[in-house]
Amino acid sequence: MQLAFCLYKYFPFGGLQRDFLRIALACQARGHVVRVYTLEWRGDVPNGFELVRAPVRAWRNHRRYRGFAAWVAADLARRPVGRVIGFNKMPGLDVYYAADPCYEEKARTLRNPLYRLGARYRHFAAWERAVFSPASHTEILMISSVQQAFFMRHYGTPAERFHLLPPGIAPDRRAPPDAPAIRAALRAEFGLSEEALLLVQIGSGFKTKGLDRSLRALAALPGALRARARLIAIGDDDPRPFLLQAKALGLGGRVDILRGRGDVPRFLLGADLLIHPAYSENTGTVLLEAVAAGLPALATDVCGYAHYIDEAGAGRLIASPFAQEALDAALAAMLADPGARARWSQNALAFAGRADIYSMPERAADFILRAAADAPERAA
């Protein structure tokens, strides 16, 4: 069967993008043909994928996305497929992979009411409604049960259209037998002694992930801890505002901000703590990646996967409503207690060995292909 996958942008280091690729490859491995519609693609194209870049231009993203959906619909009318799977919200999807949180909930709780008067809001609200309204037939693959209640509250989506998937941590995130050697090499590369305390923050979208909060917590450490601590943030985003903040906080030389890269597992093994004080987060896949690597984590409880930190006994969570003082105190306490960090690391590795946190791509492919087999072919 021919399957069409739609996403606005592909780059190798985004969480949504990695999920898309692993699901599409799982479908292809079962003998199905993959066509990908996108506006931008960075990186290698897997063998056998038909990559279609929609030739749509616009000054504003929401207009470009509207043009993308129209162009894809026209191309599908000329060249029909069995099913259309979307990784961004848009009309015309048979299956939507819900990597993003509820836009309407964020617009009503995190934005000024005047925000809802703008064209950008009208576009994204309408595109979300096209997926979640009771009149839609789109089936929804959820990776966080937290968001389902928001979608049902705002749109009245029937519960039976939601299908919860397990996490899908890549196997290469698990600590290998030579983890100590990898840790030593990473720390030597960045000039870190064993006494140094390396914090990592990983994920594109530095503002949403709370990098500003991490910098304030680092600056608030007691003098002795602060002298030993260093933060490396990794992600595809503009580092300039955060480098300016670090300078203003007197953190010169203690903060590195790196572009997205393919060797993230080295940093998980080389660090002493993952810090992830996100403002909002549908899942927070990096939390489970840290668990798989045996790296203790400090995160906000708003992350969809935050409960795994508690279940694994692999770190600490900052309760809502967020208070910077609570993050500051928790970071200082975790860095000052090597015995607790060792226990959290051991707990994390044990949890990673027994829990189903890896099977999401296969389960998603199961659903996509079962849904396609049970439904009539899309009409041209």
- Give 372 or 323, the one with higher predicted confidence: 323
* pLDDT of res. 376: 60
How far apart, in whole angstroms, are the C-alpha atoms of residue 147 and residue 99?
A: 10
Let me know: does 372 contact 83? Beta carbons within 8 Å: yes
Q: Which of 162-171, 194-203, 327-336, 345-354 has the lowest mean pLDDT?
A: 162-171
Please, which pLDDT band fits residue 379 given cuts at 50, 70 and 90?
A: very low
Sequence-distant (≥ 6) Cβ neighbours of residue 334 within 8 angstroms: 273, 296, 298, 315, 316, 340, 341
Query: When comparing pLDDT for 206 and 172, which is higher?
Result: 206
pLDDT at 372: 67
Mean pLDDT of 209-232: 97
Report, as an integer, the average pLDDT of 21-25. 97
Q: How far apart are CA 247 and CA 224, in angstroms?
A: 19
Average pLDDT across the chain, whole number: 94
Where does the pLDDT of residue 340 fall: very low under 50, low under 70, confident under 90, or very high at 90 and above?
Answer: very high
Q: What is the per-residue pLDDT for 380?
A: 38
Centroid of chain to Cα 291: 15
CA distances from 249 to 212, 217, 218, 219, 255 (A): 11, 10, 9, 6, 11
Mean pLDDT of 131-141: 97
Q: Does the predicted TM-score (pTM) go above 0.75?
A: yes
Per-residue pLDDT reduced to its tens digit, 98-114: 999 899 999 999 899 99
Mean pLDDT throughout 266-282?
95
Give the pLDDT band of residue 172 (cuts 50, 70, 90): confident
**Which domains does the chain show, CATH number per domain?**
2-166+359-374 (3.40.50.2000), 172-354 (3.40.50.2000)
Q: How far apart are CA 151 and CA 155, in angstroms?
A: 6
Mean pLDDT of 329-342: 98
Query: What 3-state class would DSSP assign to 185?
Result: helix
Do the Cβ atoms of 291 and 312 come closer than 8 Å?
yes
Q: Helix crossing, 211-219 with 324-335: angle to 10°?
A: 60
